[in-house]
Copies of this chain bind each other. A is one copy, B any other.
Amino acid sequence: MVLDPPLPKPLFARLTVIGIGLIGSSILRAALGRRLAEEVVAYDRAPEVRTRAEALGLADRVAASPTEAVAGADLIVLCVPVGAMGAAAEQIGPAVAADAIVSDVGSVKASVARALAAHIPGHAHIIPAHPVAGTEYSGPDAGFATLFKNRWCILTPPEGVNPAALERLEDFWAALGANVEVMTAERHDLVLAITSHVPHLIAYNIVGTAADLETVTQSEVIKYSAGGFRDFTRIAASDPTMWRDIFLNNREAVIEVLGRFTEDLIALQRAIRWEQGDALFDLFTRTRAIRRSIIEQGQETAAPDFGRAHD
Q: Which residues of A contact B (CB under 8 A)?
A: 83, 132, 151-152, 154, 190-192, 194-196, 198-213, 215-216, 218, 220-238, 240-241, 243-245, 247-248, 251, 254-255, 257-262, 264-266, 268-269, 272-273, 275, 277, 280-281, 283-288, 290-294, 297, 299-300, 302-307
Q: How far is the CB of A109 from the nearest CB of chain B, in Å?
A: 13
- What's the Cα separation between A273 and B206 when bound, in Å? 19
Q: How far is the CB of A202 from the nearest CB of chain B, in Å?
A: 6
With contact pairs A204-B283, A272-B247 given, residues A231 and B231 touching in the complex (Cβ less than 8 Å): yes
Question: For A233, what are the chain B residues with a Cβ–Cβ distance below 8 Å?
Answer: 287, 290-291, 294
Whether A290 and B205, one on each chain, are in contact in the complex, defined by CB atoms closer than 8 angstroms, is no
Whether A208 and B307, one on each chain, are in contact in the complex, defined by CB atoms closer than 8 angstroms, is no
Question: For A269, what are the chain B residues with a Cβ–Cβ distance below 8 Å?
Answer: 255, 258-259, 262
Whether A190 and B215, one on each chain, are in contact in the complex, defined by CB atoms closer than 8 angstroms, is yes
With contact pairs A213-B260, A293-B222 given, residues A283 and B206 touching in the complex (Cβ less than 8 Å): no
Q: How far is the CB of A289 from the nearest CB of chain B, in Å?
A: 8
Question: For A288, what are the chain B residues with a Cβ–Cβ distance below 8 Å?
Answer: 236-237, 240
Question: Closest chain B residue to A83 by CB distance?
Answer: B277
Whether B251 and A284, one on each chain, are in contact in the complex, defined by CB atoms closer than 8 angstroms, is no
Question: For A208, what are the chain B residues with a Cβ–Cβ distance below 8 Å?
Answer: 264, 283, 286-287
Partner of A299, one of B154, B225, B290, B300: B225
Q: List 26 interface pairs A-B (beta carbons < 8 Å), by A numbering.
A: A152-B224, A194-B213, A195-B221, A195-B224, A199-B228, A200-B228, A204-B268, A204-B283, A204-B287, A205-B261, A205-B264, A211-B287, A228-B235, A234-B291, A237-B287, A240-B281, A240-B284, A245-B277, A247-B280, A251-B272, A258-B272, A262-B269, A303-B303, A303-B304, A304-B305, A304-B306
Question: For A232, what are the chain B residues with a Cβ–Cβ distance below 8 Å?
Answer: 199
Partner of A262, one of B211, B220, B235, B265: B265
Question: For A154, what are the chain B residues with a Cβ–Cβ distance below 8 Å?
Answer: 224
Partner of A284, one of B238, B258, B297: B238
Whether B152 and A226, one on each chain, are in contact in the complex, defined by CB atoms closer than 8 angstroms, is yes
Whether B205 and A265, one on each chain, are in contact in the complex, defined by CB atoms closer than 8 angstroms, is yes
Question: For A277, what are the chain B residues with a Cβ–Cβ distance below 8 Å?
Answer: 83, 244-245, 248
Question: For A211, what are the chain B residues with a Cβ–Cβ distance below 8 Å?
Answer: 286-287, 290
Q: How far is the CB of A269 from the nearest CB of chain B, in Å?
A: 5
With contact pairs A280-B243, A304-B305 given, residues A196 and B290 touching in the complex (Cβ less than 8 Å): no
Known: A192-B224, A208-B264, A211-B287. 16 other contacts (CB 8 A): A132-B226, A192-B227, A195-B210, A195-B225, A196-B227, A203-B228, A205-B283, A208-B287, A228-B235, A228-B307, A237-B287, A240-B280, A244-B281, A247-B280, A248-B275, A262-B269
Whether A307 and B230, one on each chain, are in contact in the complex, defined by CB atoms closer than 8 angstroms, is yes
